[in-house]
Each structure stands twice: as structure tokens, then as C-alpha cells.
């Protein structure tokens, strides 16, 4: 399932970013890459040789695969490593502070972050698992080229599958925020790279949920059975997810291309969500058949036009920010907006009001407030690997 897009030229060496990452449906932060680590010297006085060798082999496998492998293989390597790593967290005693875990950052101006706490390693692994999930969703949603050279839309099954993947990614991130970050001492939390700060993790979680709703909305738009009210509800929910994501990330000084790109993606999708929500809300208000409802509907529709223009600006800035990227052919809500708003809005006017965007936004009605329906999958850490339960380890680290 797909190859990795952004890795160091040689695993463990200086951070390198690609100049172009191709078509993007789902924003994927630059991968945080683990640096090589020698387990033997820090642990040789406390653990059996076989356990030290197993930890070393499993992590080295991740380092090598992060230098160039498939998403599925790297995901499996992380899942194999985590249960053994958890033994170091739960039974390692002081040994869990003997190792210097180092990862290359992508959204922080600081190139590498090293911490001697195994919970930092767990946090980094969960973050990478979430990013790989977003990468997989992006690949599923990109247009496919058929044998005769014609592009086709992502299959219906791929769209449905991507929603499950978004929920899984959100589950990793929510667990990281709620259960792993609190395990780190406050001074270490303050020294975390920006990639792993609570606000960025929460924004990434909400982004995954927002994109899941975006897929649902696109499917509803393509369905003749979905009512206008259902479409509006999904659009309004999408606005709330992107608004919350923007609130969490707006004051974090993300930099170095990937970070700037992350902020611009959220701004783009927030503006686009507001455009489609106001458009659908305006269509429903038009059904009121009164002069007042017609005026409010016109304000909503013109607000939609304004936000569409803003979203196009943010979209252009996003794709121009290095590493450069490009839009695939429009589909779903984006295609719906591009086709309907230019055709519908010019005929809508607000009597006696200028076309100033700020004035129109003052007159635009509030969007309906709906409860958010998509929730992250419930994630739990795997059980500690049984190799930690052998007699030798139990004697070294007795249960209190």
C-alpha cells in the first residue's frame, strides 16, 4: 500500500524534504523519522541479552523502513515494536530513562529532539502510526488512472474505507493526548518538538474527523436520496471540526514548510467548509417564500461566494508552500461548490447593500449548530510482550 513520500536520504541522517509531493487530498505532515539507537550499552546490566537484541532489532527495522518502504510494512513494524517497548515503560524501572531516544522533526525549526524517557518513544510511535494512516487515506482518495489512460474517481468502497482510516488515525491521536502526554513530566512536555505538542496533536485529530465528514458530505451530494437538510447538517458539522482544529493550531509557531503548509491546509478547508455550509443553508432559507427569508437567504448565499473566494486563495497558498503540491481533479463538495456557486450566486442580491464581504458577513445568518457525529475510534495500547514476563526479568524488576 503505497510508498513513503518524505524521508531522509539515508535513514538517521540530516532531515531532507522533497521539493514536490504531488497531488494531495489529505494533508499528511512530514514523517518524523527515528534515529539509530544502541540498546546494548545502556541496558546490558539490567536485561537479558535476548531481550536487548529483540528491542534493538525491532527498532532498527523501523529506522531502515522509514528510509524507504511501504506504508503497510512500516505500520506492521511499529505494531510489532510497541508491545516490546511497553515492557520497558512498565517494567524497566530506572532503565527506561537510560536510553536516548532521538527522532528527526519535520514541523519544528529544531531538526532533532532527543529525550531519555520511554513515554516519548511511545508518543512518537503513535504519532507516526497516525501519520501513516493519513497517508493511506490520501492514497485511497487520489484519482486512479485506468489502463486506457483515463482517470476515474476514487471508488465508492475506497471512500468508505477512508472514513474508517480517518477514525483510526483520530483514535491514535486522541489516545496520545489523553493517555500518553500526561505520563511525561511537565518539563519534558514543554521541550517536546512542535510536531508533538498537544495543540498540534488535537488539530491533527480534528482534521482527520473533518475529512471523514467531508467524505460523507461528498457521498451525500452524489446521492439522489440524501436530502438538502442532511447535506447541510454534514456541512455544518464539518465547519465545527475545522474551526476547532484552527483554534488549536493558530498560535503554534509551526515553520519550515511542513508547518506552514499544515496551517494553510486547515485554513483552506475551514473556508471551504463555510462556503458549502452557507450555500446549503441559503438554499433551505429560500424555501421560506417570504421577503425576509429571501433577504436572509441571499446573505447566506453571498457569504458562501465570499468564503469560496477565500478558500481558493488559501488553497493556492497551500500548494505553493514548499514542498509544493497540487490539487487532483475536483470531486465531492469541492466540485459541487465550483459548479453551483458561480452559476447560482450572481442572480442573488441584497437590496441596498454593497457587495463588501465584511458587510455581507455581518448580515449573514448564523449557521445551525449540530452535535458532532464522528468520534475517534477507541484505541488501547497492546498488551506488554510476554518476553518481559520470564523469570529473569521478574527477578530484576519485582512487582511492588
Across the chain, mean pLDDT equals 85
Alpha carbons 375 and 60: distance in angstroms, whole number: 34
Encode pLDDT of 261-281 as tens digits.
Answer: 999 999 999 999 999 999 999
The values of phi and psi at residue 35, to 5°, are -85, 155
HEC string for 152-165 = ECCCHHHHHHHHHH
Beta-strand ranges (E) seen in the chain are 20-23, 33-34, 101-104, 112-115, 144-145, 151-152, 324-326
Q: Please indicate, yes or no, if residue 400 is contained in any of the structural domains.
A: no
Distances (CA, A) of 3 to 42, 136, 274, 329: 34, 10, 34, 22
Residue 58: CATH number of its domain: 1.25.40.280
Q: In the predicted model, what is the mean pLDDT of residues 170-178?
A: 98
Q: Establish if 3 belongs to a structural domain.
A: no
State the CB neighbour count (10 A cutoff) for residue 368: 13
Per the domain annotation, does 382 fall within a domain?
yes
> Across residues 14-21, what is the average pLDDT?
71
| Mean pLDDT, residues 58-84 | 92
Residue with cell 489516545: 175
In whole angstroms, what is the distance from residue 283 CA to residue 304 CA? 11
In the chain, how many domains are there? 1
pLDDT over 90, % of the chain: 57
Cross-strand bridge partners of residue 33: 104
Is 3's pLDDT higher than 70?
Answer: no
Q: Please name the residues in contact with 282: beta carbons below 8 A apart, sequence gap of 6 or more.
A: 297, 298, 299, 300, 301, 303, 304, 348
Q: What confidence tens digit (pLDDT) does each residue in 331-372 have? A: 778 888 888 887 776 656 555 444 566 666 777 889 999 999
Per-residue pLDDT, 12: 41
In a domain, residue 324? The reply is: yes
Q: What is the pLDDT of residues 104-159, one digit of tens each?
A: 998 888 899 999 999 999 999 999 999 999 999 999 998 776 544 444 544 788 89
In a domain, 77, yes or no: yes
The answer to whether the beta carbons of residues 170 and 158 sit under 8 Å apart is no
Calculate Rg over the CA atoms of the chain: 24
pLDDT of 400 strictly over 50: no
Q: Which domain holds residue 131?
A: 20-143+153-390
Amino acid at each position: 500500500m503505497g510508498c513513503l513520500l518524505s524521508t531522509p536520504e539515508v535513514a538517521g541522517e540530516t532531515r531532507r524534504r522533497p521539493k514536490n509531493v504531488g497531488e494531495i487530498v489529505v494533508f499528511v505532515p512530514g514523517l518524523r523519522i527515528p534515529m539509530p539507537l544502541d540498546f546494548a550499552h545502556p541496558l546490558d546490566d539490567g536485561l537479558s541479552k535476548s531481550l536487548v537484541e529483540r528491542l534493538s532489532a525491532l527498532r532498527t527495522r523501523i529506522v531502515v523502513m522509514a528510509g524507504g518502504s511501504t506504508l503497510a510494512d512500516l505500520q506492521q513494524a511499529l505494531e510489532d515494536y510497541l508491545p516490546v517497548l511497553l515492557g520497558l515503560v512498565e517494567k524497566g524501572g530506572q532503565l527506561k530513562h537510560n536510553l536516548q531516544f532521538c527522532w528527526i522533526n519535520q514541523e519544528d525549526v529544531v531538526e532533532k529532539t532527543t529525550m531519555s524517557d520511554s513515554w516519548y518513544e511511545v508518543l512518537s510511535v503513535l504519532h507516526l502510526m497516525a501519520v501513516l494512516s493519513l497517508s493511506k487515506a490520501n492514497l485511497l482518495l487520489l484519482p486512479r488512472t485506468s489502463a486506457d489512460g483515463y482517470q476515474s474517481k476514487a471508488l465508492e468502497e475506497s471512500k468508505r474505507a477512508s472514513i474508517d482510516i480517518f477514525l483510526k488515525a483520530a483514535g491514535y491521536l486522541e489516545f496520545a493526548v489523553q493517555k500518553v502526554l500526561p505520563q511525561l513530566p511537565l518539563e519534558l512536555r514543554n521541550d517536546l518538538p512542535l510536531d508533538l505538542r498537544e495543540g498540534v496533536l488535537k488539530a491533527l485529530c480534528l482534521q482527520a474527523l473533518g475529512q471523514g465528514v467531508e467524505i460523507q458530505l461528498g457521498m451525500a451530494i452524489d446521492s439522489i436520496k440524501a436530502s438538502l437538510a442532511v447535506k447541510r447538517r454534514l456541512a455544518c458539522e464539518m465547519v465545527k471540526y475545522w474551526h476547532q482544529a484552527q483554534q488549536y493550531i493558530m498560535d503554534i509557531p509551526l515553520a519550515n514548510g511542513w508547518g506552514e503548509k499544515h496551517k494553510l491546509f486547515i485554513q483552506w478547508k475551514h473556508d471551504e467548509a463555510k462556503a458549502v455550509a452557507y450555500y446549503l443553508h441559503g438554499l433551505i432559507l429560500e424555501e421560506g417564500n417570504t421577503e425576509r427569508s429571501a433577504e436572509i437567504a441571499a446573505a447566506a448565499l453571498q457569504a458562501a461566494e465570499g468564503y469560496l473566494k477565500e478558500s481558493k486563495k488559501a488553497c493556492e497558498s497551500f500548494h505553493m508552500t514548499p514542498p509544493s503540491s497540487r490539487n487532483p481533479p475536483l470531486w465531492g463538495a469541492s466540485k459541487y461548490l465550483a459548479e453551483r456557486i458561480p452559476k447560482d450566486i450572481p442572480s442573488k442580491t441584497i437590496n441596498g447593500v454593497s457587495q463588501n464581504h465584511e458587510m455581507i458577513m455581518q448580515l449573514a445568518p448564523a449557521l445551525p449548530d449540530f452535535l458532532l457525529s464522528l468520534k475517534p475510534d477507541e484505541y488501547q495500547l497492546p498488551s506488554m510482550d510476554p518476553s518481559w514476563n520470564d523469570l529473569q526479568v521478574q527477578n530484576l524488576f519485582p512487582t511492588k
